[in-house]
Structure 1
Amino acid sequence: MVNKLGIKPHEIFLGLTILVIGGYLSFATADFMTFGNIYDLVNNYAMLTILACGLFIVLISGGIDISFPAMTIISQYVMVTLIQGTTGNFAIAFALSGGIGLLLGLVNAVLVNRLKVPSIIITISTLNIFYGLLLYLTKGIWLYSYPEWFEQGISLFQFTAADGYDYGLNLPIITLVVVVALTGFIMNRTSIGRMIYAMGGNKEAASRMGFGILKLQLFVYGYMGLMSGVAGVVQSATVLTVAPDSLLGYELTVLAAVVLGGTSIVGGRGTLLGTLLGVILLAVLQNGLNLLGISSYWHTVVTGLVIVVSISMTAWSQRKGQGA
C-alpha cells in the first residue's frame, strides 16, 4: 500500500517517529537543533549511510553480507599505507580503497554463487578470514601518518557560523550525496536495478526468465565491496587514524538501520528512502541519548526496542495489504 506520492506506510511511520523524537529533543536539550550538532550528525553518520546503501542492494537481491566491516578496514589500511609520502589526491585514495573493496566483494560473490551456501554463512566466514589475515599481517598496528593533502581534506563553500566554527561541504558530505544519488539511480532508473528486485523476489523465476544470476551477484556484492572501500576513505578523512579492529560489530548497526527502514531480510522488498529514514532515526536516537546524558549501556536497548516496534509495524502493514 502506497499513497499518491509513492511513500509507503512504514516510511510515513518512520518519518513521524523522527519528527516526534526530534521535537522532544529540541525542547529537552539546548544543543539538538543547533547547526553545529546537525552538521556533526551528518558527518559522523556518513560512513554508516554509505555502507547502508551497499547493504540495501545486497538485501534487495535476496542475499546478506556481514563481511563489509573487514572489507572497509582492509581497504582503508592498504590505501593509507600506499599513499604515505605521496603527493596524490583523493581520486587516488578512492581508486585504491574502492578497488580493493571491489575485489573483496567479488570474492564473496563467487563463493556465494559457486558453493550454493547461504550468503550469511559465506560472509560470516569471509569476515573472520579477512579480519584474521589483516591482524596477522599488520600485527594490529594502528596507522596515524597521512600525507599533508589528505589531512587538509576538502571543504567547498566554507563559512564561519555564529558559533565561531568553520563549516562547509567537506569530503564525507560530498561522498554521501554522490553515493545516495548513485544508489537511487541504479535501483530506480536502470534495468539492473529491476533485475535485482526480481532476483530477490524469486531467484528461480528470475533465472528462468534469462537473468544472469552470477552477473547480478557479482554486481551486488561488488557494489557492497566498492561502498566498503569508499566508506574507508571517508572514515580515514574523519578520524585520521586506522585501527584494524575498530569496526568489530559494526555490521549489526548497519544491518539494523537497513532493516529498520523496511527492507526485507529475505529480499525483493524495500526502498532507499526507507533505508535513509532508518539511518536518520538511529542517528537521532543515539545523538539524543548522548545529549540527555543517558548511559551508553542503554543505547543498544533503546535502539533494539525501536527496531522491534518498527519491524512489527512493517509486518503488520504487509499482512494487512495481503488480506485486502
Structure 2
Amino acid sequence: MPATRWLPSLLLIAALPVLAHAEGPAYGPELQGFDYPYTVKHFAFESQGKSLQMGYMDVAANGKANGRSVVLMHGKNFCGATWDSSIKALSDAGYRVIAPDQIGFCTSSKPDHYQYTFQQLATNTQQLLKALGIQKATLLGHSTGGMLATRYALQYPEQVEQLALVNPIGLEDWKALGVPYRTVDQWYERELKVSADGIREYERSTYYAGRWKPEYDRWVDMLAGLSKGPGKTQVAWNSALIYDMIFTQPVYYEFKDLKVPTLLLIGTSDTTAIGKDIAPPALKTQIGKYDVLGKQVAKLIPHSTLIEFPGLGHAPQMEEPAKFHQALLGWLNKDNPVR
C-alpha cells in the first residue's frame, strides 16, 4: 500500500475534536468526537504482536439486577453506539450489558497489519469478558455481529447461555453460490470512496426497503465521518480486510453444530448480501432474501426459535424498538437456562 497512507496516523495519538466539513462532521480514527450513549471504556491487550485497545460500554442493570449479562455484537456498518435502545431495554429489564466495538471498528484500534478472522475477534471478546469477570453470558449479534456471535458460541459453548441473532449475514455462502471475489485492494479502493449520500442510499434500498427515518441520519454521519476524517486510510484499509473476512469465512456450514438455545430475529424485507452489487443478474435476484433465509437456517440450528418481523428490514431493533425488545425479552425470560 502507498507509504503516504499512514502519515496522518502520526498525529492521531490524542483524542481529536470534531472537524468541520461541508458535508457533515468528520471524526478521528477511533471515532473521537462522536457521542456514545454511555461511557466508553477501553480494554488494552496484546494481539498478533500489537498493543491494541477495544472500546466498550459496560452498563449495569437499572433497578433490580437479575445476575445475567448480555454481550452485544454490532454489524459491519454499525457500532456499539447503535445498540442504544437495546442497551436501555436490557438494562431496565435487569441485565448487565456489555457492548464492545470490535478491533477495526468505531472506537477501537485499527492496526496497519492484522489477520482478521472471526476466531480472532471471538478470542479478543472472550479476553474482554474474562477481564470484566464475566464467565457466562447471553450473546446478541446483529448483521456481521451475528456471524461473530455464532463463531463465539461454537468456540466457547460452555461460556454462552443463549444466542440471539438479529438479521445476521452469513445465512448463505455467497462465494459458493457464485458471487465474484473482490480482492482486498479492490475493497480498499471502494472504501476510500465512501460518502454519506452513498451510505444513506445503500441502507435505504437494502436495509429498509426504500424507507427512511430522520433518526437514521445520525448513524450515517457516524460512518461517513469516520471514513472522511484524518484516519480515512486506516479506516478504509481495515474495512477492506474485514469485508474479505466476511466473504471468505462462512459460518453457514456450522449452524448445525450450535449447542445453545438460539433465537433468530428476522426482518423479512432485508435484502443484504455481500457482493450483491457485482453478482451476475440471475444470482442477484436470488441472494439476500431474508424472508426465505430465516426459515431455512432455523431448520439447521438444533435448538432454535424463529421470530419474524414482516415488512421490517435489516435492523428491526432500530426500526421498531418496542416491538423488537418485547419479542427479545420474552424469549430471554422464557428460555432462561437453569442457573
- TM-score, with structure 1 as normaliser: 0.24
Structure of larger gyration radius: 1
Q: More helix by proportion, 1 or 2?
A: 1
Higher relative contact order, chain-length normalized (CA < 8 Å, sep 6+): 1
- TM-score, with structure 2 as normaliser: 0.23
